[in-house]
Amino acid sequence: MSGAVRPGPRRLLVPGLMTAGMLAVLIGLGVWQLQRLAWKRDLLARLDAAEAAAPVPLPATPGPLQKVRAEGDWLDGPVAWYGSAVHVLSGGPVLGSDLIAPLRLPDGAVLLVDRGWMPAGQEPGLSPGRATVTGWLRPAERPGLFSARDDPAAGRFYTLDPQAMARTLGVAPVLPFVLIELADAGPAAGTPIRPAHLPRPPNDHLGYALTWFGLAVALLVVFAAYALRRRTGEE
């Protein structure tokens, strides 16, 4: 009999609408990652410009992406240790922390300086006196949910908190940020290992965008195969 009703395209309506919705989401995510890619490239270009520029004197209100220079006197007394990291030295992997030392500025304020990574148990070997330090400024942190607990009595910190560090070191008034000292000509033997460049965030946005667009194409292929199979089965 010819009275049987063939649903035809109506059976594809709901799957088609679902596919269209998922396609919109996947393509939107891909476009968003391309926008993030443009933003990240601009950020990296500004970091390159800041890297090439001469350091500016320590401003009263530091801005982002600045290489700064501070002049003052290293204070004789205790130091603090920040974080915990492993560096591979000539003898193999070594555990250590970043050395935090106070620098008294001409106006009387104290700037805490991250002088770089040192192996655990190694004496700082710092000498008080006049110094000029170049680096970048890192704002104070708040403890994270899974941060290790600071041990002020031992001078060990896992949160970059200038106020707490200053209380342990017995110095005041302290500025609300820490200067991360940059290596001037590469670290010499026995001195802290310092970064040679301003920090640069990873730039993976192009890969993410291609992933989202690839998933969109795969979804189209799957839907086309499904629709073809349904139509073939109805004929």
In this predicted structure, what is the pLDDT of residue 91? Answer: 84
Q: Which residues pair with 71 in a beta bridge?
A: 132
Write the single-letter amino acid at 168.
T
Give whole-number Cα distances, 113 to 23, 42, 183, 229, in Å: 50, 29, 13, 68
Write the single-letter amino acid at 155.
G
Q: What is the CA radius of gyration of the chain?
A: 28
What are the two backbone dihedrals, phi and then psi, of residue 94, each rounded to the nearest 5 degrees?
Answer: -135, 135
Query: SS3 for 158?
Result: coil
Could you state, in order of their start, the residue ranges of all structural domains in the chain?
Answer: 68-181
In this predicted structure, what is the pLDDT of residue 33? Answer: 98
In this predicted structure, what is the pLDDT of residue 187? Answer: 47
The list of the chain residues with pLDDT below 50 reads 1, 3-5, 7, 186-187
In this predicted structure, what is the pLDDT of residue 5? Answer: 47
- The DSSP call for residue 64 is S
Residue given tokens 């304020």 in the structure block: 109
